[in-house]
Amino acid sequence: MLKNRRSRLKPFFADYALDAVLLTDLRNIRYLCGFSGSEGALLVARDSAWFLCDSRYTAQAGEEVQSAEVVECVAVRLDTVASLAAENGLNRIGFEAAHTTVSAYRRMTEKLSGIELVELDSKLDEIRICKDTAEVGQLKSIAVLASQSFEAILGKIKPGVRELDVAFALEFEMRQRGADGKAFDFIVASGMRGAMPHGRASDKVIQSGDLITIDFGALKDGYHSDETVTVACGQPSSEALEIHAIVKTAHDLAIDAVKPGISCKALDEVARSFIRGKGYGDCFGHGLGHGIGLEIHEMPTLSPRSTMVLEEGMTVTIEPGIYIPGFGGVRIEDSVVVTSDGCALLTGVGKRLLVL
């Protein structure tokens, strides 16, 4: 499987006439060799690969790293890269420009002075864009865990409880059910705070009549889940009901439109034009969704500016919203995997308005 993933680097070897690629981004490293620790580098040549780490990680790398030789660096890691390059005739090495700081780049040019360093832009991260069966399984199981955790704490969402209490209860539930942690700081935005698309859980107390936008996700083995449910605490106003219904329809229309071959821009427009037609075009300021995987936000982006086209195996969120300052907001989000003729849901909470 990892060999298969590594073959996705082939176009880079060809297009940039490379002898090797040096990877330092931990997500790309995990994807290509299995290492889950917090420091290391992976040097991939056409027919061989080396995982470089210091002594803190040698045992872990020995257990986790597949199809790469584990090399323990006794001193400076770039010196080890330099000697491996010299021993194996690697004269032209690509590196992840999008994940390299200016100072790291300066160190590279110093330590690898005889080597031609070739900048590979964020296109390199696109090797992870179409998920394989194992990844879809991991994304599905963490999404189900998060959805079930949410359903288990519904009884705790009630007037008098702080937004933070809801966030803590949800994270605790996820961890009890086996998550490694939360995928991001949960958004729990109640009442007027719902107008902030990214309103983190605060110490605001939930009141009867509030709509509450809860955006949550869990993390397991490096993979993230992402889902948003907007619930009502007590009987919602007619305007709140109307806005929820519009966002729900926009969400459903977009999910129905997901299939290989549709452009990300056209998919965004499916939801956006519906919301615009209802008179709320100015209240939906963000893109329709994003890719999800080893990063919470990754390629492709679904927005009016997207240039990509959906392919089978991509995993994306669909998350239209309406945000009205001084009133509140609604967002509804599911994560899906693109299948051969449509899509399958990863997330599992039903999206009809729940009145608690």
**Least distance (Å) between residue 216 CB and Zn ion:** 7
Residue closer to Zn ion by CB (options 165, 215) is 215
Q: Which is nearer to Zn ion, 100 or 301 (CB)?
A: 301
Q: Helices 77-88 & 102-111, crossing angle to 10 degrees?
A: 50
- Applying CB under 5 A, which of residues 226, 269, 298, 334 lies at the interface with Zn ion? 226
Q: Considering beta carbons, is residue 19 or 215 the nearer one to Zn ion?
A: 215
Contact 24, 100 (CB under 8 A): yes
Q: State the minimum distance, in angstroms, from the CB of residue 331 to Zn ion.
A: 8
Give the shortest CB-204-to-Zn ion separation in angstroms. Answer: 19
Which span (22-30, 209-217, 229-237, 338-346) binds Zn ion, by CB under 5 A?
209-217
Q: Which stretch in 39-47, 97-105, 199-207, 311-319 sits in contact with Zn ion by CB under 5 A?
A: 311-319
Q: Is 171 in the site for Zn ion (CB under 5 A)?
A: no
Contact assessment for residue 235 and residue 158, using Cβ atoms and an 8 Å cutoff: no
Nearer to Zn ion (CB atom), residue 25 or residue 215: 215
Closest approach, Cβ 214 to Zn ion, in A, equals 9
SS3 content of the chain, % helix, strand, coil (to 5): 40, 25, 35
Q: Is 317 in the site for Zn ion (CB under 5 A)?
A: yes
User: CA 266 to CA 259: how far, in whole Å?
Assistant: 11
Is 19 a binder of Zn ion (CB under 5 A)? no
Number of shown-chain residues binding Zn ion (CB under 5 A): 5
CB 20 within 8 A of CB 41: no
Indicate the residue among 80 and 230 with the shorter CB distance to Zn ion. Answer: 230
Minimum CB separation of residue 254 from Zn ion in Å reads 13
Of 161, 188, 217, 237, the closest CA to residue 349 belongs to 217
Stretch that binds Zn ion, among 30-38, 99-107, 160-168, 223-231 (CB under 5 A): 223-231
Cα–Cα distance for residue pair 233/268, rounded to 1 Å: 30
Residues 151, 154, 156, 162: what is their CA dihedral angle, to the nearest 10 degrees? Answer: 110
Kindly state whether residue 298 participates in binding Zn ion, applying the rule CB under 5 A. Answer: no
Please select the residue that binds Zn ion; options are 25, 171, 215, 334, rule is CB under 5 A: 215
Q: Which stretch binds Zn ion (CB under 5 A): 32-40, 67-75, 237-245, 328-336?
A: 328-336
CB of 120 to Zn ion, least distance (A): 27
Residue 98 contacts residue 123 (beta carbons within 8 Å): no
Q: Are 274 and 249 in contact (CB under 8 A)?
A: yes
Strand partners, 323: 329
CA atoms within 13 A on the CB side of 238: 0
Query: Which residue, 96 or 173, has its beta carbon nearer to Zn ion?
Result: 173
Cβ nearer to Zn ion, comparing 67 with 303: 303
Q: Which of 129, 128, 119 is nearest to 98 (CA)?
A: 119
CA distances from 153 to 141, 189, 207, 218, 350 (A): 19, 16, 17, 15, 15
Q: Is 301 in the site for Zn ion (CB under 5 A)?
A: no
Q: Does 268 bind Zn ion (CB under 5 A)?
A: no
Alpha helices (H) along 8-132: 10-15, 26-33, 58-64, 77-88, 102-111
Cβ proximity to Zn ion: between 228 and 230 the closer is: 228
Binding site for Zn ion (CB under 5 A): 215, 226, 228, 317, 333
